[in-house]
A and B are shown apart, each in its own frame.
Chain A
């Protein structure tokens, strides 16, 4: 079962624009993670935000977390063609230690 659900399923933008992806989840979490996957490749960890944090930055990435709304967003600023990939949020499922992934947002950045 999916704990996190990303929105939108697909996003197409021009190079230089910002890309925003959202993730909603259902149960309480310890932290929320974002991963990136280039087509057919392994997932790469981008950022982890803890439940007591509201915002976190890493380079051109900005992640926010709203535990009251059970949602998170990933913002990629000044996007590049190389950012083209699928982006997944991942959360712990309830009190379990399992990490459950959403179905992802497929981002296309057009040059």
Chain B
């Protein structure tokens, strides 16, 4: 158990809809990262928050947004969903601000299926 909690584990929705994925980081970790994993694109970095502020941005679509709340949990909002958004979405956390300075702890992921 990594200590990172993601909900929901599975989500099935229709094209055009909006969903929210939630992540609670490990106790004491200030950084939260979101990654998207699909068969054809591999593991893609979306966005990182550190102590409530956006720290780094990756290949995140404009239809996607995220935030980190004062209690450090994070939400990833996906809107106007398309079939291609079907993927596993992972949240990870770390103590440090820089992802490449130490270990990331991953949650078990939220599997999104868009029909």
Contact = CB atoms under 8 A, between A and B. Distances in A.
Interface residues of B, number: 28
A18 interface: no
B100 A41 contact: no
A2 B107 CA distance: 22
A30 B104 CA distance: 15
Contacts of A102: 42
Given A33-B103, A42-B4, A45-B105, A98 B97 contact: no
B90 interface: yes
Interface of B: 2, 4, 33, 35, 42-43, 45, 48, 55-56, 58, 88, 90, 92, 97-109, 111
Contacts of B4: 42
Contacts, number: 72
Interface of A: 2, 29-31, 33, 35, 40-45, 48, 88, 90-93, 96-104
A31 B42 contact: no
A91 B100 contact: yes
Given A42-B2, A43-B90, A97 B97 contact: yes
A48 B106 contact: no
Contact of A96 (B56, B92, B104, B109): B56
Given A98-B45, A98-B56, A98-B58, A45 B104 contact: yes
Contact of A100 (B2, B45, B90, B102): B45
Contact of B100 (A35, A44, A98, A104): A98
